[in-house]
Amino acid sequence: MPHGRKKPNVLSAHSVTPYTVTILIHADTARYHLERPVSWRLEGTELRGVSDIVPVFLEGLLPDTVYTFWAGEEKLFFRTAPCAGLIDAADYGVSPDAADNACAFAAAVAAVPKGGTLRLPEGHIASGPVFLKSDMTVWLPEGARLAAIADRGGWPILPDHDADGRVVGTWEGLPAASFASLVTAIGCKNLAITGRGTLDGGGDRGDWWTWPKETREGARRPRTLFLAHCTDILLSGITVCNSPSWTVHPYRCDRLTATAMQITNPADSPNTDGFDPESCTQVKVCGLHISVGDDCIAVKAGKRGTGEDTRVDHIAPTRHLTIANCLMEDGHGAVVMGSEMSGDITDVDITRCEFKGTDRGLRIKTRRGRGGQVARIAMNDVAMDGVGTALAINAFYYCDADGKSTEVQSRDPAPVDDSTPLIADITVTNVQLRGVRHAAGAFLGLPEAPLRGLRLTGVTVGYDADAEPGETLMACHLPSARHAGLLHRFAQIETDAALTDLLEDMTDVS
């Protein structure tokens, strides 16, 4: 090890609660999968196994207890968090036999002391929306499945603003009345949701997926897990699936950590993004496996209204987001910024991840009228396999009713004002692209606000021999492509010598 270089950590403990912990193995050097399987054990317990992935999630631990975790010959000491009291939800009537456990859950949540833990029983627990409170841990042990009921009759609706003026109901970047989520937390602090259990949003039951862009009873579709105006939040271990719309949606949250989670929705389920931090700060996402019907991780920052609805008071930035050791599969995009991003999205680090079979890898999408900036985005040590367009930056994204209008899609310069989006300082290093179908990269800035400071180094490219031509960006006037290199227009790009031959001017077609 050269002098002055920090030795990588082999083992680290994350997301520690009274009864669970996430251990990361070789997180500083591996992506999501380990180079080779590692045998592990928790000393003094029967917990042991073999892991071929970075995150190892453990549950059934004792509070405020020191443990020794072994992985091969490496060991790690960690202490679980204290617990002020363990409450069994079953003692308050939460049961697999009940048709709707929402009222029983409310009683159980109310009974949890400050710093205490609510443990769910095993089995299929049907419920309407559950509302959480501050200073508690919710533990869904293995075998517990909290599942939304199919009938939305009487389902609670979150208004666009609460009595304090905070936005609590949202839809695609704008305040809007929305059905409450299966698990909803508003204004909470020091909240953890953990365990090997499952949150089942019920999107495959009822009619949620049949009206993706409409309202019913004056409200938009719910998420499965919605966290608004929360601070110091921990999510670990759980599986979240079958979401009616966006799956995990933190909104205006600060200091949120998510580790060792599984987020899954059917590939044809509409607008079921996986993890959507919107107007959040200091978010850490590590060791997630996401496969959904839309974008896997979609970073948002609100959006301006259009026409008579030009609200901007709800817009706030997303800053300081870290995504590491994650696996994204089969979604529209792996890590996406926009299109709801009228607030700034800045200081995002994407490190040691795997993208497999997504339509696009790193994707930034915006358009005239959005405003805001996307800046200081860094991607390092990422492997993409079977991706359509690996690196996509599009300032002509044809979203909303006017998205294909001349005003939005014209390649002539438009006036620059506070509604002009800016994209700058995007750094991509040490990225392996295998099985690319359409383009290694497609970068389309605005003529009045070109993409600046895009730096690509250490990128290797291989193509899918069986690929058919397809769409590189969702913008008008672009031809289909197959096995294209680095397509660009209205963009300032710096590359190393190995990528120079891949640079191609992007031309319009009628």
The residues carrying an active-site annotation are 294, 332
Distance of CA 488 to the CA centre of its chain: 27
How is 63-130 classified by DSSP, letter by letter? TT-EEEEEETTEEEEEEPPP-S-EEEGGGGT--TT-S--HHHHHHHHHHPPTTEEEEPPSEEEEES-E
Which residues, other chains included, contact 410 with Cβ-Cβ below 8 Å and sequence gap of 6+?
A: none
Instruction: Judge contact between 96 and 124, C-beta under 8 A.
Output: yes
What one-letter code names the amino acid at 335? V
Q: How many beta carbons lie within 10 A of that of residue 330, not counting itself?
A: 19
d(CA 484, CA 488): 11
d(CA 153, CA 166): 26
* Token code pair at residue 58: 């453990």
For residue 500, with 0-12 CB atoms within 10 Å meaning exposed, 13-18 middle and 19 or more buried, which class applies?
exposed
How is 457-484 classified by DSSP, letter by letter? EEEEEEE-TTPPPB-SSS-TT---BSSE
* Token code pair at residue 419: 């509604």
